[in-house]
Structure 1
Amino acid sequence: MAKRPLGFVCLILSLVLYFIVSIKPAPYQNFDALEGKMITVEGSVYKKETSGQTKEPVTVLYLKLFSQEGGEQWENPSAFRTGRVICYLKSGQIEPEMGSTVRLTGKFAGFERASNPGQFDAYSYYQILGISYRLNQAVISAKSQNYNILTQKAYQVRRFLSMKLSENLPKQEAAMMQTMLLGEKSGMDKELKALYQRNGIAHILAISGLHISMLGMGQYKLLRKCGMPMKAAAVVSASAMVLYCIMTGFSVSAIRAVIMFSLQMGAVLTERTYDMLTAVMVAAVLILINQPLYLKHSGFLFSFGCVLGIGLILPPLTEGKRTIHPAVKKLLGSIAMMVVTLPIYLWFYYQFPAYSMFLNLLVIPLMSILMAAGLLLLASSILCPPAAIPFAYLIKGILTIYEETCTICNLLPGNLLTCGRPEIWQMILYLSLLLLIALLRKKGNLILRWGMALAAVFMLMLPTKTGMTITFLDVGQGDCICIKNGYGRHYLVDGGSSSVSGVGEYRIIPFLKFQGISRLEAVFITHPDEDHCNGIKELIQTGALQGIQIKNLVLPDIAQTAKEEAYLELERLAAKHDIPVAYISRGQKIADNQLAITCLHPTHTYVSQNSNEYSTVLTLTVNNFTTMLTGDIEGEGEQMLTQFLQKEKTPPITILKVAHHGSKYSTDKEFLEIISPRVALISAGEDNPYGHPHSELIDRLNQADCQIYQTNQTGAITVHYKDGKITIKSFLKKIFNQGE
């Protein structure tokens, strides 16, 4: 760093900003009182796009706020007069120009906060972008005549070029090229995007350094070959990339790349030597001064991580080799980027695509051809439309290669390594080792540096033992319980919701990945009601693609005549995906190291027309710690269970998962007197239409002297048992310690 004083200063400033962000989190604004109310705002349009999230295209405006009304319930109105808001326009509204001032009224909607480990936190994500809330069905009541000519023209050019791509390419290929060249993501196929993400090549979909370097340097070299003076070519190329960044929407990766490219062209102008590491640190500081929270943004970290991989880690991994074959050098560059971005992958996505560094050796070289073909297609479609045809075929061919290669990689064993989010100590140790490798560039031998890199990777991906944990996920109005036995084996009991759409995709699967769970020894479904199994259906259908294997599906062992269509559907779905189905009834037990899972209900070939009554009831026992999971048991089923427990003289239960989300018709007084639970956990949705948990049920639990926890108040609840000590921790960071 002594040779890079500017880079050193920028590094110190970045560390100071990181320290500030870490010790002083941004304040949380509670907008619950405003949810669904009509709000009027006034602001300037800084971004426009078309949403692809609805059946009909919806125009989306991004406003820099000047004022808002209807806000007598704002906690701190002044805090948002310089904030931002997303407005989804009602159908039929005329688009305002970029930079114009508009006044509009719409229905207030806040961003959802995560209530489970691994769940996407929309509130935090948009907080980083400076966006406070959104308005739906917005209607414009006034618009200024003045607007920003530059940004409006850039938007019009973007729409025009997007239209040309749609005219000359099939729908899917057009959407891909619109994303890659123009940053327009509204038409992107969701499944194809997920395919790219699973294989570690989604970076080609973002306007980033790859795009800017190809376009900017390509333009600069072309201008030089055409005879333009070096300095003039540098100014024109840098200016063109700034305009390109404006047109494509100012993504953080594009801003980083444009700053670095502009500094590179500045070096040409001043006849100085360009230093990549200094440039990347300057870019980081310029971005972070404007918004320090970008330090928590995955796109920011990936963008800078790739550059640091090439600038800091690649040299120590190649130092000492006199000659390196170009193909080997590309592979080493891919490995260097992987080494730096691995902790980012695991921190944000909990998995790592094992073959991504090899796949990128194919993808990146073809990317330059693909982008050139896209630009030539656009030019020829304007000047001579028939000339665009061969470029369209070339684009379709390359995109087909991408898709087919990713599909093949999906079928390879170990494609997705599900490691879970690393512990803080692992991250610190890993980054310390990387820093040491960078410092040892001129010292030590090559084998030592490679050994340190491999040791760091294995250490980061190493699972940590935490003892037995039982997590009661917040799935809204539904149930989902995950059990970790502390020895690398995992179970799931139920997984569904009647209030959260896509509960498997958005809550259950992200949680499993966060925990580093790639295999479930058994998934128990207590009964086939949707609020207990629709998320499991998603897991069965997509789990293999997500890197999660279900070894067995376990259903209650009831009479064939009692199996309704929903039960039979589960059997068929499991058979379709080659998942063995087991049936469990009273007295059957699974012994797994110190953990014993025992079934108390139903009895073998139990008959009932009410699926709640035959709900599977399980106890989880480790030493003197026992948890009872009761599904939705009620009525005759609960009476039979109570009689059985009374007859068996069941010892007191430590933790009870209250049946049927806290319905007043279950968990009666006699049942509570027999099991004497110390803690009662209730899984229910916020403001659910059933009034769960019912006040009568709460009264019974209080009379039984239970400590009560509810997922709709605390988010996910994790019970941790280790060395005779029980810790109950909510996702909201409240910790309750219990003795054995």
Structure 2
Amino acid sequence: MLRIKRPLVAAVLFVILLIMAYDSLSKDEGFAYIGKTLSLTGRIKEIKSYDVPFGERSYRLKVKADSDEISAFILKIKESDLFAGCNLYNDVDIDLSELSRILYGREISCTGSFEAFDGELNPGQFDANAYYKNEGYTGILDAKDIRIVKEEGSFSPDIYLHRLNLAISDKYKKILGDKNAGSLSAMVLGDKRGLDEEIKELYQENSISHLLSISGLHISLLGGAVFLFLRRLKISFSFPLIASSIILIIYGAFTGFSVSTSRAIVMMSVLFISFVIGKSYDLPSGLALAALILIVMNHRVIYQSGFLLSFFAVIGIFYIMPELLYIFKVDIYHKRGIIKGLHLLLASIISSISILLATLPIVLNNFYEVSLTGILLNIIVIPLMSLVVITGLLGGFVALVSEILGSFILGITHYILNLYTLFCRLGDRLTFLRLIIGKPDKWQIVLYYLILVIVFYLLALKRRENKLRSLKNNLPEGYNTSKRIVFTALMTFTSFLIIAYKPREFSINMLDIGQGDCFVVNDGNNDIYISDCGSTTVQNVGKTRLLPFLKSKGWGKVDTIFISHMDKDHVNGVNDLLKCAEITIGRIIISASYTSDKLNCAELEELKELAKMRDIKLFYMKKGDEIVGKDISFRCIYPTGEEDIKDQNEASIVMRMDYKGLSMLFTGDIAGSTEEKIIDSTGKDILDCDILKVCHHGSKNSSTDDFLKKVSPKLYLISCGLMNRYGHPHRDALSRMTGEGGRILRTDHMGGTQIKLADGKLIITKAGKNLTGKRFSPAVECDCEDCERIKVNTHLVKP
């Protein structure tokens, strides 16, 4: 009869496989409600505010629904509607913390249109649909009507714990200032709302972002500290263990029971219980029990990055770390003095490497890069976390009674957090230790883990054989270290090469960046060319849209950036990218029209200053100039550099790209009058192209009939923002394009678009933007083909 050594582990693996099979075959039931007007009730679990470029601030509320079909949803509502529905007043200064204190846990009723979450609009961009779906949320209710069902009633532990959390967070802000308070609130309270964006990026870039979440490290420190404190009081052995488990559970509720927190609490509670009942503790079984509990609560937790990182880190420590400690003979350094210090240092380094090996595919799947500085930084920052957790919690609670005493305790935390920031800034300068690898495919992840499992399984078998042989013959253990190190290094390096592999292929990428332009071309040799990047509707577009795209593809070096002209919706994202030191940029090319002082502007001055700081050469381009790569070329056909141009749009570079028989025309924001000049001065053989980057986002006065006839493209690429205030693309322009034939691709309806060339055929991949159920106003009826296709009107055109 087959005997399974760890039946709980096998059961969890079987359940996970069943869930994955079920999810692959089942349909998303939430789509049945998309586009419908629903009235829902539920309890508010979290509140966030969002400032938009145009219009008033809005709020996103996480709501636990009182419905069998919709278990949870995100409530989207404007500030005025929220305040009116909840009997709050705009003339009273209510910050987010106070609003959360008032509304958290309250039961509300709301009515609105149900929407789908946005998916991955560009490769590398945050996939809201997958994230919220895995969190258990069905969709978004875009509501105007909201009311509190009943006033605050009987005692609710979670509400009072939440208010206590907010009160301590407020004390942190008062004593430490916004930056350190935001970091400490994330570290010990599980509240990331006030986390400074710069600090968050610094921690992520140096691979210590796990410190900003309540993790197993925090739970172990807290549980151990409580247990040791109670033991020093000479209390019986069982009571401290049970009390520690109860305190950990309360702390989990206090901080919101994140996945990593829940995992650590279950595992540590099982450890304490095993001591009480006198049974041995099996870490894999404890890990499996924690996974099973989380899966029962939400089966889609298995797809969450927090779940995967937390569990695979423990797996790395249990399965990989012992083998590395063994083959590097770390045990022989168990002596005093310097040798003992060397033992601890090696053990810490091997621990970091073990976790990195176990979690590398998950890290790359979510962040696209890995920082080797994290291996060294974790050796320094992790031991100090015990002080951060203890002083942070103790100082916060004490500050509620005495701010002076609380300030004294939190002073220790303040200096440690400043030290963390200093280390991160130093690590940030070591850009050569940050490897931009890109997002791996599924087959790469499977093959990587397969090699890793085989390697460390063989090492474990050999280690057991050595131990048994030495025990049998009553001799000290002897083993060949060099052979094992070489074998492990070669196989690990092979698995790294597999997961880092990226095919070299030509592609044209039109990114969805809202109202603006951004095109990225890979010439098939991994030389990257960018034409414009800017947006008037997406903040920090270079950092939030372009940079994640480049990283997800594994492109850490850009050969050339073309900037057609200096309007914000074409250049502000480039300026953002120049501030990101991890991306190497070869050169920047702008229109020769900007040699004239008439077109000087703040965006140009900022560009010049940033280029100078990065030591990036800036060139001016005019008609006849050509950039030639191995298989690709860019030839400028406008401007000549002699025109007397005063309008930014008319200074736009117009250039033709050629790649192995495929041609594309980039046109910036030129208008019909400039199109006529180009027709008169340029031969039809040069204008005739397969793909046209449509002039000025499809404005009414661009893309004239004569110009479209000369270009006669097969594809029209229109980059514009959904429901933009300019009415781009205009119906008249769309009508002219449709009349000339060819296919229209537009970011406002389709999201980011990728075009590849295979056997002379164009292969088009769209993001699959879902606009069903979204509210569009003000607008008039529109019967254009694209609006009919998606059943909504997205044109802001006056009747």
TM-score normalised by the chain length of structure 1? 0.89
3-state secondary structure, aligned to 1:3 = coil
Q: Matched residues, percent identical?
A: 30
Deviation for aligned residue 1:573: 4.4
- The match for 1:3 is 5
Question: Equivalents in 2 of 1:28, 1:468: separation in Å?
Answer: 37
My pick for the range that moved more, 379-388 or 315-324, is 379-388
2:484 is matched with which residue?
446
Question: Aligned residue for 1:514?
Answer: 552
Residue in structure 2 matching 1:331, options 324, 327, 349: 349
1:587 is matched with 624
For 2:125 and 2:48, the matched residues in 1 are separated by: 26
SS at match of 1:391: helix
Post-superposition shift, 1:316? 2.6
In 1, Cα distance between the equivalents of 2:413 and 2:699? 58
Q: What is the rounded CA distance, in whole Å, between the counterparts of 1:585 and 1:19 in structure 2?
A: 57
Structure 2 equivalent of residue 119 of structure 1: 125
Question: Structure 1 pair 729/374, CA: closer, same or farther in 2 (3 Å)?
Answer: closer
CA 1:535–1:138 in 2, change beyond 3 Å: closer, same or farther? Answer: farther
C-alpha separation in 2, matches of 1:54 and 1:707: 32
Within the candidate set 698, 709, 712, 1:676 is matched to 712
Q: 1-side partners of 2:174 and 2:744: how far apart? A: 61
Residue 754 (structure 2) aligns with? 718
Contact residue 7 and residue 277 of structure 1 kept, 8 A: yes
The corresponding residue for 1:79 is 69
Counterpart in 1 of 2:525?
487
Greater Cα offset, 367-376 or 648-657: 648-657
Kept after mapping to 2: 8 A contact 1:467/1:722:
no
Out of 533, 557, 561, the position equivalent to 2:592 is 557
Task: Indicate the residue corresponding to 1:654 in structure 2.
Answer: 690
Deviations 1:68-112 (A, max 9, x none): xxxxxxxxxx732x3344577535579568655344578988643
| Aligned mates of 1:198, 1:426 — CA distance in 2 | 23
Task: Write the distance in 2 (CA, Å) between the matches of 1:657 and 1:52.
Answer: 32
Q: Deviations over 1:663-691 (max 9, x none)?
A: 23222222232232222222222223333
Could you say what secondary structure the match of 2:651 adopts? coil
- Aligned equivalent of 1:727, options 744, 751, 763: 763
Cα distance in 2 for partners of 1:270, 1:309 equals 28
Q: State the match for 1:101 in structure 2.
A: 107
Residues 106 and 139 in structure 1, CA contact (< 8 A), matched pair in contact too:
no
Q: Secondary structure at the match of 2:355?
A: helix
CA, structure 1 residues 597+54, in 2 after alignment: closer, same or farther (shift >3 Å)?
closer
- Residue identity opposite 2:674 in structure 1: G
SS at match of 1:527: coil
Cα RMSD after superposing both structures: 3.1
Shift of 1:524: 0.6
Contact 2:320/2:354 (<8 A) preserved: yes
Change (3 A) 1:168 1:588: closer
Match of 1:361 among 379, 382, 394: 379
- Out of 11, 14, 36, the residue aligned to residue 12 of structure 1 is 14
Matches of 1:310 and 1:685 in 2, distance apart? Answer: 47
Matches within 5 A, 1:10-89: 10-24=12-26, 26-27=28-29, 29=31, 33=35, 41-45=40-44, 47-48=45-46, 62-66=62-66, 79-80=69-70, 82-86=71-75, 89=82
Three-state SS of the structure 2 residue aligned to 1:441 is helix
Unmatched 5+ stretches in structure 2: 90-98, 334-342, 463-482, 771-799
Alignment-derived partner of residue 74 in structure 1: none
Distance 1:30 1:658 in 2: 36
Distance change >3 Å, CA 436–CA 567, structure 1 → 2? same
Change (3 A) 1:697 1:59: closer
Partner of 1:75: none
Range 570-579 or range 268-277, more displaced: 570-579
Distance apart, 1:345 and its partner CA: 1.4
Structure 2 residue 221 is the aligned partner of structure 1 residue 214: yes
Distance 2:312 2:318 in 1: 10
Q: Per the alignment, do residues 489 and 247 of structure 1 end up closer, same or farther by CA in structure 2, a change over 3 Å counting? A: same
Q: Structure 2 vs 1, CA of residues 371 and 431 (structure 1 numbering), >3 Å: closer, same or farther?
A: same
Match in the other structure for 1:223: 230
Q: Secondary structure at the match of 2:703?
A: coil
1:421 and 2:439 equivalent? yes
Partner of 2:160: 153
TM-score by length of structure 2 reads: 0.83
CA offset digits 1:696-724 (Å, max 9, x no partner) = 32333233221222222221111112454
| Aligned-partner Cα distance in 2 for 1:404–1:8 | 45
Output the amino acid matched with 1:589. Answer: E
Distance in 2 between residues matched to 1:700 and 1:58, nearest whole Å: 38
Letter in 2 for 1:19: A
Distance in 1, Cα, partners of 2:574 & 2:555: 15
Q: Say whether 1:640 aligns with 2:630.
A: no
Distance 1:58 1:556 in 2: 39
Deviations 1:386-405 (A, max 9, x none): 55454333212211110101
1 CA distance for matches of 2:285 and 2:28? Answer: 29
- The 5 Å alignment of 1:177-188 reads 177-188=184-195
> What is the CA distance between 1:373 and its match in structure 2?
2.2
Give the corresponding residue for 2:252: 245
The 10-residue stretch of structure 1 (195-204 or 403-412) with the greater mean CA deviation from structure 2: 195-204
Match of 2:794 in 1: none
Counterparts of 1:5 and 1:521, CA distance in 2:
55
After superposition, the Cα gap between the structure-2 partners of 1:251 and 1:728, relative to the gap in structure 1 and judged at 3 Å, is same
Partner of 2:465: none
CA spacing shift, 1:488–1:187, aligned 2, 3 Å: same
Note if contact 1:717-1:728 (Cα within 8 Å) is conserved in structure 2: yes
The Cα of 1:27 is off from its aligned counterpart by 4.8
Task: Determine the C-alpha separation between the residues in 2 that align with 1:536 and 1:433.
Answer: 41
What 5-or-longer segments of structure 1 have no aligned partner?
68-77, 735-740
What's the counterpart of residue 737 of structure 1? Answer: none
Distance 1:536 1:4, change over 3 A: same
Structure 2 match to 1:531: 569
Q: Which one-letter code corresponds to 1:630 in the other structure? A: T
| Residue 626 to residue 28, structure 1, CA distance change in 2 (3 Å) | farther
- Kept in 2, the 8 Å contact 1:468–1:722? The answer is no
Describe the shift of the 1:584–1:276 C-alpha distance in structure 2 as closer, same or farther (beyond 3 A): same
How far the C-alpha of 1:406 sits from its partner, in A, is 0.4
> Which residue among 391, 404, 426 is the counterpart of 2:422?
404
1:631 equivalent among 642, 645, 668: 668
Flag the 1:583–1:60 CA change in 2: closer, same or farther, 3 A: closer
Deviations for 1:367-399, whole angstroms, at most 9, x for unmatched residues? Answer: 112222224434654677655454333212211
For residues 597 and 171 of structure 2, the distance between their equivalents in structure 1, rounded to whole angstroms, comes to 61
State how far apart, in whole Å, the 2-side matches of 1:54 and 1:216 are.
43
Separation (CA, whole Å) in 2 of partners of 1:629 and 1:60 = 39
What is the CA-CA distance between 1:491 and the residue it aligns to?
1.0
Amino acid aligned to 1:372: I
Alpha-carbon distance change, 87 to 242 in structure 1, aligned in 2, over 3 angstroms: farther
- Supply the distance in 2 between the matched residues of 1:94 and 1:465 (Cα, whole angstroms): 48
Cα deviation, 1:170-212, whole Å, max 9, x if unaligned, reads 4433332222221122322221122111111111111111111
- Return the structure number with greater helix share: 2
